[in-house]
Copies of this chain bind each other. A is one copy, B any other.
């Protein structure tokens, strides 16, 4: 796709609402001729004479003077509009036939069908938003959880791009001074204070590093976390799944189609979506762990970021657990090991766990108070109900949690552990978070360039090399906000938008 500023002379048109049957559809026009084009087919008030941000009822007629529809026309006179240009939104009856007729009519009258994301591209090109804000618009539309929504909203309203822009400007000032030095290179002057520059670079690095660190979380928030529950037959996988989902009375939607695209069960913990992938398949597969064989399922497990391995604390031998984990766990995979059926555990030591959480003893009394979900703390290796010597090494290296899925004991603690598994030490959900892979890559490259700057300064390399490294860092930072952009980059970003946005 070719995007160039040249195209800004056209007036573009597209359906802004989803296709399908609905009460109304909204067709959006943007460009210098938007109002003129609409006015040409509209019967009602003269739109050219109306104020911005006003709505007008009338009919739209085709060239044979047949009424295509009765519509409401919303006027936005540039630059007070989404794109910064003249914008007209035509609200018509939600019939595909009418929408199609109207769009064809507007094209006849001189508009051009918009390309995906072209309205938002224009908003960017006309300075209504920076590039990372424009990208957030698409994220916002695609967001399906509180966290991903918050993330996109934060980014759309400025997010970290303001700070990046500020720091970049400071670096740019230093760059100018160093470039100036190069012009006077024969005179050996030093306009740019090297100590200050180093301090600034280090400050930027700290900020960038935090953003880079946040990407795992950002990515998890944006795309959810592929999670597998595996275990032997009767380990209690389904019961655990139900216990987890049961308490997550997600958002029950009155709107048809909201969850239509969901093909997996989704566990929402504090707004982060754990996508329990093809659980049935996995269940079956894990039933055959000894035989393995189910390659496709194993492949899915290997693509998951998080494995919840459940074992029956009564029936399963430590050696079996060790074998299963050896087969299941892949590199870069978070692992939670769940010791299930703790309510049946004969070891007296078990009572202790419940005391930690509830401050009370007596498993028997707990059972009588079913539904009173007092939580039990996690466990360290030494608390494990098996003799430590019997305990498989793999588990001792992972986080593990004693629960009873049936009695819903410790499920809340398990969820907390699930949630924490996506948080790194440095990053909390309320800090500034990067969720866009493009930003992540640009930040990493900017960081490398800044490392080079520091290295160059420390090793006394000549200023022209330092200047080059700074310029490279500036370019990468500029890509994030769009101060530096190419047609390819824009095509890449906006091509992924839906048409009409």
Contacts and interface: CB of A to CB of B under 8 A. Distances in A.
Contacts of A450: none
A40 interface: no
Copies in the assembly, this chain:
2
Nearest to A15: B255
Contact of A253 (B100, B119, B141, B144): B100
Contacts of A96: 144, 253, 255, 257-258
Interface stretch (A23-31, A382-390, A455-463): A23-31
A23 B500 contact: yes
A97 B143 contact: yes
Nearest to A82: B72
A210 interface: no
B19 A144 contact: no
Nearest to A120: B23
A17 interface: yes
A94 interface: yes
Nearest to A16: B23
A16 B21 contact: no
Interface string A133-150: 000010011111110111
A19 B20 contact: yes
Given A91-B26, A99-B255, A70 B156 contact: yes
Given A97-B145, A103-B255, A23 B17 contact: yes
A156 B76 CA distance: 29
Given A23-B500, A23-B501, A157-B67, A98 B140 contact: yes
A119 B24 CA distance: 12
A256 interface: yes
B74 A55 contact: yes
A55 B149 CA distance: 25
Contacts of A28: 23
A370 interface: no
A24 B19 contact: no
Interface string A224-262: 000000000000000000000000000101111110000
Nearest to A22: B18
A93 interface: yes
Nearest to A497: B23
A439 B144 CA distance: 44
A138 to B, nearest CB: 10
B254 A113 contact: yes
A393 interface: no
A54 interface: yes
Interface string A255-284: 111100000000000000000000000000
A241 to B, nearest CB: 24
A109 to B, nearest CB: 16
A140 B93 contact: yes
Contacts of A141: 21-23, 93-95
Contact of A20 (B20, B74, B156, B251): B20
A95 B255 contact: no
Interface in A36-78: 53-56, 66-67, 69-70, 72, 74, 76
20 contacts: A17-B18, A18-B18, A18-B21, A18-B25, A18-B94, A19-B20, A19-B258, A21-B142, A22-B501, A23-B498, A53-B56, A55-B74, A70-B157, A72-B74, A93-B137, A93-B140, A97-B148, A99-B255, A101-B149, A103-B254
Given A22-B501, A98-B143, 14 more contacts: A16-B23, A18-B19, A19-B256, A21-B141, A55-B76, A66-B150, A69-B153, A95-B140, A95-B144, A97-B145, A98-B149, A100-B254, A100-B255, A100-B258
Top 7 A-B pairs ranked by shortest CB distance?
Answer: A18-B20, A18-B22, A23-B501, A19-B257, A17-B17, A23-B500, A53-B55
